[in-house]
């Protein structure tokens, strides 16, 4: 299954000609890497992950106040690493949550900057 997902991202050294492209529902850019519409999909996923990150930080803060079962730190990191670092960082500051934990206080913002740079690179290639 993973290999099927990765097949769509494979590098094609010979991009399709105009005739063949006309018959396909998607096309390569001049480098042969990305399909038309990938940018919107990636941006949508990025926004969704950051909204999830923001919401999860709020939910965990509320649970902490009520002394309820908490969201694990590993889950918070997983959300941040999977594209939600800006949202988790914003949630950390907005809800004053995990701000005393040095690994979150430094790690989330560094990861957020790296994700924004990577996203910017994707849209400039």
CA 64 and chain centroid, separation: 26
Q: What is the mean pLDDT of residues 90-103?
A: 94
Output the pLDDT for position 117. 95
Domain membership flag for residue 27: no
Domain membership flag for residue 38: yes
Domain membership flag for residue 28: no
Angle at 43 between CA 13 and CA 33, to 5 degrees: 0
DSSP for 30-93?
A: TTS--BTTHHHHHHHHHHHHHHHHHHHHHHHHHHHHTT-PPPPHHHHHHHIIIIIHHHHHHHHH
Encode pLDDT of 29-71 as tens digits: 555 556 667 888 889 999 999 999 999 999 999 999 999 999 9
Encode pLDDT of 63-94 as tens digits: 999 999 999 999 999 999 999 999 999 999 99
Domain membership flag for residue 8: no
Output the pLDDT for position 125. 72
Domain membership flag for residue 54: yes
Domain membership flag for residue 64: yes
Domain membership flag for residue 107: yes
- Show the tokens assigned to 74: 């590993």
Domain membership flag for residue 12: no
Q: 6: pLDDT confidence band, cut at 50, 70 and 90?
A: very low
Domain that holds residue 52: 34-124
On whether the CB atoms of residues 118 and 82 are closer than 8 A, the answer is no
d(CA 83, CA 53): 9
d(CA 95, CA 100): 13
Output the pLDDT for position 32. 53
The total of structural domains in the chain comes to 1
d(CA 59, CA 71): 8
- Show the tokens assigned to 72: 């694990």
pLDDT of residue 9 exceeding 60, the answer is no
Output the pLDDT for position 38. 82
């Amino acid at each position: 299954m993973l290999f099927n997902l990765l097949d769509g991202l494979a590098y094609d050294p010979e991009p399709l000609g105009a005739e063949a492209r006309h018959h396909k529902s998607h096309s390569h850019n001049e480098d042969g890497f990305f399909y038309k519409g990938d940018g919107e999909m990636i941006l949508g996923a990025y926004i969704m992950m950051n909204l999830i990150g923001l919401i999860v930080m709020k939910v965990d803060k509320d649970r902490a106040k009520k002394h309820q079962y908490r969201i694990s730190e590993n889950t918070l990191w997983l959300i941040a690493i999977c594209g939600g670092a800006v949202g988790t960082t914003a949630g950390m500051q907005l809800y004053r949550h995990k701000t005393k934990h040095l690994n979150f206080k430094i790690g989330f913002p560094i990861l957020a900057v790296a994700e924004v740079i990577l996203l910017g690179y994707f849209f400039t290639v």
